[in-house]
A and B are shown apart, each in its own frame.
Chain A
Amino acid sequence: MTETPLLLDPLFRVPFVTGLLLAATLPVLGTLLLLREEWLAALGLAHLAAASALLGLAAGLPLVLGGGLGALLGALAKGALEARGNVTYGFMILGGWSALLLVAANTALGDSLSHALIDGQLYFAGTIELTAAALLAALAALTLPWLTPRLLRARFFPRYETANGLPTWRWHLGFDGLAALGMAVGIATLGIMGAFALVLVPAWIAFRTATGWGPTLAIAAVSGALGYLGAFGLALGLDQPFGPVLVALLLVGAALTSALARARRRGSESRPGAVESRLPPA
Chain B
Amino acid sequence: MSVSSPLLEVADLRAGYRTPVVGPLSLAIHPGEVVGLWGANGTGKSTLLHAIARGARVFSGRIQRKPGLTLAYQEQHPVRLPAMPLTGLDLLRAAGGHRTAVPEPIAPLLGRRLDRLSGGQYQLLTVWCALAAPADLILLDEPTNNLDPEAESLLAMVLGSQRGGRTVLVVSHERAFLAAACSRVIALDGTPADLDSGPTGERPRD
Chain A positions near chain B (C-beta within 8 angstroms): 34-35, 37, 149, 152-153, 155-160, 162-165, 206-208, 210-216, 280
Contact = CB atoms under 8 A, between A and B. Distances in A.
Contacts of A165: 54
B142 to A, nearest CB: 14
A227 to B, nearest CB: 19
A207 B71 CA distance: 31
Contacts of A37: 81
A179 to B, nearest CB: 18
B96 to A, nearest CB: 7
B28 interface: no
B83 A156 contact: no
Given A162-B53, A164-B70, A211-B113, A157 B86 contact: no
B83 A212 contact: no
A64 to B, nearest CB: 32
Given A157-B95, A158-B79, A162-B53, A212 B87 contact: yes
Given A157-B129, A163-B71, 6 more contacts: A34-B83, A153-B94, A156-B126, A160-B71, A207-B85, A212-B113
Q: Which 4 A-B pairs have the closest CB atoms?
A: A163-B53, A152-B94, A163-B71, A212-B87
A35 B91 CA distance: 13
A212 B94 contact: no
A159 B90 contact: no
Interface of B: 50, 52-55, 70-73, 75, 78-79, 81, 83-87, 89-91, 93-96, 113, 126, 129-130, 139, 148
B70 A156 contact: no
Contact of A35 (B55, B70, B81, B95): B81
Interface SS, A side: helix
A149 B84 CA distance: 15
B190 to A, nearest CB: 27
B86 A212 contact: yes
Contacts of B52: 163
A165 B53 CA distance: 9
Nearest to A165: B54
Contacts of A160: 71-73, 95
Contacts of A152: 86, 90, 94
Contact of B85 (A153, A156, A157, A210): A210
A165 B85 CA distance: 29
